[in-house]
Amino acid sequence: MQTILATGLLFTTPILLAALGGAINREAGIVNIGLDGMMLVGAFIAVFIDWKAHNVAVACLAAVAAGALVGWLFALPITRLGANEIVAGLGLALLMPGLFGYLLPIYFGQASTFDPGNVQALGVWHVPLLSSIPGLGPVVFAQDPITYFSWLAIPLTWFLLRRTVLGMHLRAAGHNPEFAVAAGLPLARLRELSTAIAGLLAGLGGAQLALATVQLFNKDMTAGRGFIALAAFYFGNSRPFLTAIAAFTFGMADALSIRLQTAGLPDQIPEMLPYLAVVVALIVVALRRRAAAGLSAVDAVLPTN
């Protein structure tokens, strides 16, 4: 059980970061389907810069910058040209694996994997005292720094959206764009900023995926985690704490699927588990919305005193 929990926490991190970024983006009025592509860019840049600079911190910062840049560029056709956000997001998510599939054999002589061999891994930080707690201590409080940051990002995202002027402006841009325009808010720039933040967090998640586990890049290494993050912030209704719970559930399902692969089951069955969890989560969202709609209909017909 401890092994599954440790693996689940590790797998939760990129999903959680991308989901929090997507939640911010959605609150500002853009449903970001391109998180998977942004995560993949972050993973590649992290490995490449780590290989060149021999510095994992610089590599992570570069991944953050690359993700933010891709996010901003992705937002421009939507905010400035009126492109459909769903089509643009799917295009980005499909473009990136194809782009790296084209570039890797040409520039690095490797068909789908970039493995320079001397990439530094993200270190494990042991929290003093807490990591020595019997049982959960060595599992929960012995993680890489990006995982710790992902936990901190949950209340920070809530604080940004609910307790800052910028957060109020972002939510106005998404929930009441007519009011935002009438109030003189820069609607396009706010949505571009929110997409850059989403790309920043997704890029950091990609860096963790590449440097904390395997220390290499593969064009298919995200394995749809960006789309799982999309399901997480939909399940949480863009609320950071509920979104985090959904991301943790999906991360644990991913860890459990790996454990089941050693139990003698056909590989296809464990591989289905994370995506089955997503389907179940989306069914719960649909049922919850139907129940809320039913209550609203009942309230509308009940007489008021």
Q: Which domains does the chain have, with CATH numbers?
A: 2-121+144-301 (1.10.3470)
| Percent of the chain whose predicted confidence (pLDDT) is above 70 | 92
Q: What percent of the chain has pLDDT over 90?
A: 66
pLDDT at residue number 136: 82
Looking at residues 149-157, what average pLDDT do you find?
97
Model confidence over 57-95: pLDDT tens digits?
999 999 999 999 999 999 999 999 999 999 999 999 999
**Does residue 125 come out as left (phi exceeding 0), alpha (psi in the -120 to 50 range) or beta?**
beta
Most confident option among 5-14, 129-138, 158-167, 231-240? 158-167
* 39 Cβ contact partners less than 8 Å away, ≥ 6 residues apart: 14, 18, 67, 202, 203, 205, 206, 209, 222, 225, 226
Would you state the pLDDT for residue 134?
82
pLDDT, position 213: 84
Chain mean pLDDT for the chain? 89
Whole-number pLDDT of residue 299:
54
Q: What is the pLDDT of residues 102-121, one digit of tens each?
A: 999 999 888 889 998 889 99
Average pLDDT over residues 266-275: 71
So what's the pLDDT on residue 278? 77
Q: What is the DSSP string of 64-114?
A: HHHHHHHHHHHHHHHHHH---HHHHHHHHHHHHHHHHHHHIIIIIS-SSEE
- Per-residue confidence at 284, pLDDT binned at 50, 70, 90? confident
